[in-house]
Amino acid sequence: MSKLILITGISKGLGYAMTEGFIKEGHTVIGCARSSDALDKIRHSFSATNDFTSVDVANEPLVKEWPQGVLQKYSPPDIVINNAAITNYPAPLWEIPSEEFSDLIDINIKGVANIIRHFVPAMRVRHRT
């Protein structure tokens, strides 16, 4: 049975591989990444039944807008995969600039919360959590 799968961070690595794999298995993927250029390439690689949007998961106002369009076009997702993440270069914490560390916290932790906060309520209404 085909599922509607939402994946963050689809522009490269694991996010791209999951997107490709799920689409090949017949599922519909709703995905986001920060890079518009990367998304343009992804849109050309996969059918129009999938939906890819430029969203920075750390930016809550953008994340809050994204589900409004998604939920008008589709039902709530069956699965949400919070994949978007960054890493700092390997170093002792005191050598990592505070701005870089803040970016990591904003994307890797707050980004996950932002996606959950704005998609899961609709999923719960449809009993998908």
**What's the structural domain count of the chain?**
1
Prediction pTM value: 0.93
pLDDT tens string, the chain, 129 residues long: the values are 999 999 999 999 999 999 999 999 999 999 999 999 999 999 999 988 999 999 999 999 999 999 999 999 999 999 999 999 999 889 999 999 999 999 999 999 999 999 999 999 999 987 755
Exposure of 53 in the CB half-sphere (CA atoms within 13 A): 17
* CATH number, position 118: 3.40.50.720
pLDDT value of residue 114:
98
Length in residues, the chain: 129
pLDDT value of residue 48:
86
pLDDT value of residue 129:
52
Name the CA dihedral angle for 114, 66, 27, 33, rounded to a multiple of 10 degrees.
Answer: -70
Domain encompassing residue 24 = 4-125
| Residue pair 22/33 in contact by the 8 Å Cβ criterion | no
